[in-house]
Structure 1
Amino acid sequence: MTAPHYDVIVAGVGAMGSAACWHLAKRGLRVLGLERFDLGHAMGSSHGLTRIIRLAYFEGSHYVPIVRRAHQLWQETGDAAGLKLLHVTGSLDLAPEGAGPVESSLQSCLDHGLAHEVLGHAEISRRFPAFQLPPGHLGLWQPDGGFVASEKAIYAHVGLAQSKGAEIRTGEPMLDWRPTADGGVIVRTERGNYSAGRLVITSGGWIADAVPALASQVKTVRQAIGWFTTRRPELFREGAFPVFILTVEEGNFYGFPLYEHPGFKLGGPHFGREPMDPRDPDRTPSPTQVRLIRECLARYIPDAAGDPLTVKGCVYTVSPDEGFVIDTVPGVPQAVFASACSGHGFKFASAIGEILADLSTDTKTPFDLSPFALARFDA
């Protein structure tokens, strides 16, 4: 029996895979998206109601052109789907002077002409009285930052892709795949085989199963996010409070204005991740991670240091240099992948979906992808 044929198969329909499905389908291609869980599931790294989008990027100025495009696409995608996906609240990097994050975010603003302000300790307290920070802290304010409604973004991408004819199959993971002699691929699932001209692999924590060249370069870790009872919710409402990255002695934490949940959301500590096997169904964060989050709230954001209302785990796939990996599978140019986004990738998903569509259709991307090449780990 002949395997059903598609122009492109997308393995993994989370943030980036759903975006790839949309960008491919609107180009008129026949697309199949395969997802191992339900749509919008909480087993990976694309859930939790909200994800930060920052244009002042302390991880490196080379990310800024892509995140600016993502910012534009989140607005356009929301408009097309009739949903508000992008919430512009302003973003605030908070760190001790000289620690690096504020200075690096400032440099990315200067490199790309982004609006910004450097705030001293007194000005931070005046504008955002919810923070009680040590005197040596500085802030980098960038007014275009905010958050993306994460599950809604996936639903929007999938709905738009389906409106252009894409097929999305949930509960059907890709078990394996192989290249064919004619330059295509065969993908195997429990329900059968499918053939395609191209393959896009966006399977998150399971990426090394599909791209063995990544197995020695990436690790899968668990991160904690929680929503906590607030004593003064008016301080944390959207419009009064920004998204933020906070560097303190307890670690690096990130937070949001109140949105669709009565609790204040804080995640971290960013580098306090704990290794895990994604095949383990338990996503419960460790008591240590939750304790550090609560200690951070008690010391620095005390009006949000109430009892936990919801606590969840989140799975990150991390590369050795904390950078993304976007490339073709070694020796198989018809298969492309994006992974190892190291806990800071969701904001880019709308643009990375477009990049993956470009790579899958031999379209020249406007971005320099060399910093994200797999071969950099061989140097």
Structure 2
Amino acid sequence: MPTTDIIVLGLGAMGSAAAYHLARRGVRVLGIEQYTPAHAQGSSHGRSRVIREAYFEHPDYVPLIQRAYELWRGLEREAGERLLVMTGGLMIGPESGVLVRGALTSARAHRLPYELITAEEVQRRFPPFRLQPSTVAVQEPNAGVLFPEACVRAHLDGAAAAGAALHFEESVRQWKASGDRVEVTTSRGTYTAARLVITAGPWAPPVLRDLGLPLQVERNVMYWFTPLRNGETFAPERFPIYICEYRKDAFFYGFPALPDGSVKVAHHHSGELCTPETIRRDVDADEVARMRALLAARLPDASGDLRQTATCMYTNTPDGHFIIDRHPGWSNVTIACGFSGHGFKFASVVGEVLADLALEGRTRHRIALFRLARFA
């Protein structure tokens, strides 16, 4: 007899959401996670994550993020805890740059509300910014901040309430599949099920070694500063989330102040490749200095005392788009990986998609952009 109906490997952002949606559909779910709930070892932590609608990466993301908003708000009501704060957003850069051009393309394709504003107008509306006159920004109202640890815990709590069995601090040794069953061996034992969902984050390359996926894991650093002055101007009701293309194809992003008054900023892609075993967790003085230099030129009031740093991992695909598909060799194995540093905001809808694929083999959501066949 199978241990359960379906096993979910990895209970970070995507796995917790998958377990939640599967359990709510009445199937027996076993979730397995090598660390504690909402841990800080992978890609689903950091106290705040951007959510935005005018998606510069590709217009096909927009319907998914719209559904993700619906699901986050439903989860928020269910959990009785605030998971999302709307602040509006700015996509800042040269008008010909990939960020502004892509945001405009998505906004116009889906008739989203937005304004294209000058650097002078950005500074009038949001005084902390200091921008070059040639810079413009796409301002959108439907953007804000997700609280990642709370989001993961809410999905886990909801999955458990719906009957899922969730195992933590249990590492996976191997998995194998046949036509009608899967078998997963862990540090505690062996489990069988009819289906398997693999949401392994930066551990995906070894877990999915048989597929030879073109994935690269990248170390990225997050920084929290106390504003040097005018801290009240960074309050969430006065200051938006933002991404800034400060030179061609190079970005940093940031947030309004957290409740403790700190302001979080980070590079989007740092270029230092790693594995979960080799990632450098310390942050050196040169890295802090580079971030301070960016802030000095564009957000000088933000660069006060350094409060905290933390590292996370991006799992990148060559084209920057996700992988969400059924395993080409085993129709009872569904995989989601390669979220390339911009996946967390989609976790609520990715969980729904994974439940669809695992149980029905199809989904109503448009996910052609994420199919494995593009790497064939």
TM-score, normalised to structure 2, is: 0.96
Aligned to 2:338: 340
Q: Which amino acid aligns with 2:221?
A: A
Deviation at 1:271, TM superposition (A): 3.1
Q: Which amino acid aligns with 2:167?
A: R
Query: 1:2-151, aligned counterparts within 5 Å?
Result: 5-151=3-149
Q: Which amino acid aligns with 1:208?
A: P
CA distance in 2, matches of 1:90, 1:365: 30
Higher mean alpha-carbon deviation, 79-88 vs 287-296, is at 287-296
Query: 1:300-311, aligned counterparts within 5 Å?
Result: 300-311=298-309
Percent sequence identity is 41
* 1:110-161 Cα distance to aligned partner (Å, 9 max, x none): 1111111111111101101110011111010110111111000000000011
Determine which of 326, 351, 354 is the counterpart of 2:324: 326
1:246 aligns with 2:256: no
Q: Where do 4+ consecutive residues of structure 1 move more than 4 Å?
A: none
Aligned to 1:229: 226
Q: What SS class does the counterpart of residue 224 from structure 2 fall into?
A: strand
The answer to whether the Cα contact below 8 Å between 1:174 and 1:188 also exists between their aligned partners in 2 is yes
Aligned to 1:199: 196
TM-score, normalised to structure 1, is: 0.95
Q: What SS class does the counterpart of residue 33 from structure 1 fall into?
A: strand
Deviation at 1:233, TM superposition (A): 1.3
Higher mean alpha-carbon deviation, 117-126 vs 283-292, is at 283-292
Deviation at 1:287, TM superposition (A): 4.6
Aligned to 2:289: 291
Determine which of 210, 216, 219 is the counterpart of 1:219: 216
Q: Which amino acid aligns with 2:342?
A: H
Deviation at 1:307, TM superposition (A): 2.0
Q: Which amino acid aligns with 2:216?
A: K
Q: Which runs of 5+ in 2 are unaligned?
A: none
* 1:13-40 Cα distance to aligned partner (Å, 9 max, x none): 0011100011001101111111111111
Aligned to 1:255: 254
* 1:275-334 Cα distance to aligned partner (Å, 9 max, x none): 012123642345544332211111110101112100011111000111111111221111
Deviation at 1:178, TM superposition (A): 0.5
Deviation at 1:170, TM superposition (A): 0.9
1:168 aligns with 2:166: yes
The answer to whether the Cα contact below 8 Å between 1:213 and 1:330 also exists between their aligned partners in 2 is no
Size of the aligned set, in residue pairs, is 374
Q: Which amino acid aligns with 1:122?
A: E
Q: 1:83 to 1:294 in 2, by over 3 A?
A: same
Q: Which amino acid aligns with 1:261?
A: D
